[in-house]
Amino acid sequence: MYVAGFYRLPIAEGQLDTVVCTSGGETRNRSVTLLFVDEIAGAIADPVRRRILELLRERRLTAGRIAEQFELSRPAISRHLRVLRESGLVRDTVVGRERRYELDPTRFGDLTRWLAQFDQAERWERRLDALETEVHRTRRERRTGGSPNSFEERTA
């Protein structure tokens, strides 16, 4: 379960590293973010839990309504919901005798940020944008008389 505060994590045998985790789920230490990613990845590893997330993407549902979508016992569905709740992907609200479940999208950000580092397209897009900026800057300098390092001065 996600709790804001300080965490002591092992960094080597017999040593601990203190890290800070803010209430928004952002961390000042990458190792805590990876713990969140591990929690989330574990929660979504099961196909039943992924299907529950898909159901909750559309609207809030009670455990009973969720259980109707599966050929599993209600206690089994409750265990899956507990895993999703403890990972922070789902939150619940008690209304009378019912417990209603809904997605908590804030935790999906941890996983999205972690996965983004592997997005080669984004990385190349940034590099190509930088190259385009440099080409435009060079053209502009040539039209306005150039900089001290213009081509004409370097070849003179």
What single string gives the DSSP state of each residue in 78-134? HHHHHHHHHHTSEEEEEETTEEEEEE-GGGHHHHHHHHHTT-HHHHHHHHHHHHHHH
pLDDT at position 145, please?
77
The two tokens of residue 153 are: 């001065």
Instruction: Say what the pLDDT of residue 40 is.
Output: 87
Q: How far apart are CA 89 and CA 108, in angstroms?
A: 7
Q: Say what the pLDDT of residue 76 is.
A: 95
Distance CA 148, CA 55 (A): 63
Please tell me the chain's helix, strand, coil percentages from 3-state DSSP, rounded to the nearest 5: 55, 20, 25
Q: Which of 72, 62, 126, 124 is nearest to 99 (CA)?
A: 62
pLDDT score for 115:
81
User: By CB neighbour count within 10 A (0-12 exposed, 13-18 middle, 19+ buried), where does 135 fall?
Assistant: exposed
**What's the rounded Cα separation, in Å, for the pair 109 and 146?**
45
The pLDDT assigned to 23 comes to: 44
Domain edges within the chain: 30-111
Q: So what's the pLDDT on residue 77? A: 95
- Let me know if domain 30-111 sits in CATH 1.10.10.10: yes
Question: From first to last of its 156 residues, what are the pLDDT tens digits of the chain?
Answer: 444 444 444 555 544 444 445 444 444 455 556 667 788 888 999 999 999 999 999 899 999 999 999 999 999 999 999 999 999 999 999 989 999 999 988 888 777 877 887 777 777 888 889 999 999 999 998 888 765 555 555 555
For residue 139 the two structure tokens come to 């053209």
- pTM to 2 decimals? 0.58
